Amino acid sequence: MAKEAWHRWGHENEAGALRSIEPEKVRSAAQLISSGRVLSLAQPISDRTPVPHGRTSVMHFMNRDGGDYAAGGKRPGGFQFAEDTLVMPAHLGTHLDALCHVWYDDELYNGFSQNSIRSTFGASRCGVDKLPPIATRGLLFDVMRQRGAPLAAGEFIGRDELQAISAAADFTPEPGDVALIRTGWFETHGPQADYFDGEPGLALDAALWLAESGVAVIGADNYAIETIPFPNGTVFPVHQRVIRDYGVLLLEGLVLDELAATGATTFFFAAAALPIVGGTASPLSPMAIL
């Protein structure tokens, strides 16, 4: 039973490694801003957003639109408006996994019981509503550029490769960083039917190297961070170890091609999860500010 980062930030901590992002870290990361260019790293949300079998597709309903006025709707004082409703899974598109999302041995991160998660109230421990906004240094590990082509399903990214990219880019992962992994998977497979049939991703040794370096978040341009199919005898080994044992958040479904095209490998990263009480994840619209 591994507990590498339990109680590091207190016995009641439900935000995990995000607690390592101290004000000085934010101030230091802000010094990376030079041009002021802001890039979105998020997928658009629509009924075309890729969704795996077993999850509901995005449903977008207009409650009030121009057609209502064309049909004779009242316009008090000339006032007209549009309003809509969105229904979607929390784990869809670009989203952040909360620390209640994955566990083993009946215990969540920091030793909280799995009984703290129930269908009647959601997650009373380690829910996405317990996560503070994120503003820190971002690191881009451009594996696609390193290899010269998009990675194929089932390809592993190991620790040695991440270390080589880190050395070439002249940065070292530090506590509170957000580490982003570009595989090219969303760029080449996002609109295709085989998007969820498998994917390249982090091998466990690479993920543990990042977690042990103290990063607060690991993100990637695929749908599960780690390699699929899983290594023999394992099921979501990266999820289990980094979320439950280290309190590291996983940020899935990123769009990284525009950031990669700038050549930037370090940047100011900002994002905030929706405070969904008891939620296991949140849609996210992360930004890289250059």
Mean pLDDT, residues 160-181? 98
Residue 175: CATH number of its domain:
3.50.30.50
Angle at 234 between CA 49 and CA 244, to 5 degrees: 75
Is 129 found in the same domain as 78?
A: no
Is 179 found in the same domain as 283?
A: yes
Is 151 found in the same domain as 84?
A: no
| Structure tokens given for 177 | 């960083």
Longest dimension (CA), the chain: 67
> Residue 165 domain-assigned?
yes
Is 25 found in the same domain as 67?
A: no
Number of domains, the chain: 2
What is the pLDDT, as a whole number, of residue 95?
Answer: 98
The pTM for the full model equals: 0.96
Angle at 102 between CA 99 and CA 105, to 5 degrees: 115
The string over 16-38, giving b where at least 16 C-beta atoms fall within 10 Å of a residue's C-beta and e elsewhere, is bbbbbbeeebbeebeebeeeeee
CA–centroid distance for 160 within its chain: 23
pLDDT band at 268 (very low <50, low <70, confident <90, very high): very high
Is 108 found in the same domain as 81?
A: no
Cα–Cα distance for residue pair 219/186, rounded to 1 Å: 13
* Dihedrals phi, psi of 51, to nearest 5 degrees: -140, 135
> Looking at 138-152, 156-170, 183-197, 201-215, which range is the least confident one?
183-197
Is 233 found in the same domain as 171?
A: yes
What is the pLDDT, as a whole number, of residue 194?
Answer: 87
pLDDT band at 193 (very low <50, low <70, confident <90, very high): confident
> Residue 9 domain-assigned?
no
Is 127 found in the same domain as 116?
A: yes
Cα–Cα distance for residue pair 79/81, rounded to 1 Å: 7
Q: Which amino acid is at 280?
A: T
Mean pLDDT, residues 237-266? 98
Question: Which one of 66, 88, 110 terminates a domain?
Answer: 88
Q: What is the DSSP string of 187-256?
A: HHHTTSTTTTS-B-EE-HHHHHHHHHHT-SEEEESSSSSB-BSPPTT-SSHHIIIIIIIH--EEEES---
- Give 104-132 pLDDT, tens digit per residue: 999 999 999 999 999 999 999 999 999 99
Is 46 found in the same domain as 70?
A: no
> Residue 227 domain-assigned?
yes
Q: Which helix (H) or strand (E) holds 63?
A: strand 59-64
pLDDT band at 240 (very low <50, low <70, confident <90, very high): very high
Three-state secondary-structure class, residue 96: strand
H-type helices in 34-175, by residue range?
66-70, 143-147, 159-169
pLDDT band at 190 (very low <50, low <70, confident <90, very high): confident
The answer to whether 269 and 259 are in contact (CB under 8 A) is no
> Residue 4 domain-assigned?
no
Mean pLDDT of the chain: 96
pLDDT band at 192 (very low <50, low <70, confident <90, very high): confident
Decide if pLDDT at 1 tops 60: no
Cα–Cα distance for residue pair 107/12, rounded to 1 Å: 14
> Residue 74 domain-assigned?
yes
> Residue 240 domain-assigned?
yes
Decide if pLDDT at 181 tops 80: yes
pLDDT band at 103 (very low <50, low <70, confident <90, very high): very high
> Residue 111 domain-assigned?
yes
| Structure tokens given for 167 | 């050395």
- Give 48-63 pLDDT, tens digit per residue: 999 988 889 999 999 9
Q: Say which residues have a Cβ less than 8 Å from residue 76's Cβ, sequence separation at least 6.
A: none
What is the pLDDT, as a whole number, of residue 16?
Answer: 97
The answer to whether 60 and 47 are in contact (CB under 8 A) is yes
- Give 2-49 pLDDT, tens digit per residue: 678 999 999 999 999 999 999 999 999 999 999 999 999 999 999 999
Question: Which one of 39, 66, 88 terminates a domain?
Answer: 88
- Phi and psi based region of residue 93 (left: phi greater than 0; alpha: psi -120 to 50; beta: remaining): left
> Looking at 93-97, 190-194, 262-266, 283-287, which range is the least confident one?
190-194
Is 135 found in the same domain as 69?
A: no
> Residue 5 domain-assigned?
no
Domain interval for residue 82: 58-88
